[in-house]
Amino acid sequence: MPYYKFKNKDTNEISEVLLKISELDSYKEEHPELERYFDAVGGLADPISLGIQHPPRAFQEHLGRIYKQAGVKPKSKRWDIPTVK
């Protein structure tokens, strides 16, 4: 069951509720003072997979060791910054 965040329209208090997906609509009808609250995209994407942030150097080195032991050379380095000429 997922957690849903709700914000109280009067007090701006944010609360989390554990509900089944099938119970969500009835919960919203029973609590008209609450509205769904979305603070971030939870679990759908992270800055590393979106290419916004580089992974930690230790992780990059770990991948390098894996490639070396497997005898495989990576075709391209995903996090290299292209140079402009």
Vertex 37 angle, CA 35 and 39, to 5°:
170
**15 pLDDT higher than 80:** yes
What pTM was estimated for this model as a whole?
0.47
**77 pLDDT higher than 70:** no
Give the model confidence (pLDDT) of 25-61 as tens digits.
999 999 999 999 987 665 667 777 777 777 888 888 8
Where b means 16+ CB within 10 Å and e means fewer, 10-47 reads: eeeeeeeeebeeeeeeeeeeeeeebeeeeeeeeeeeee
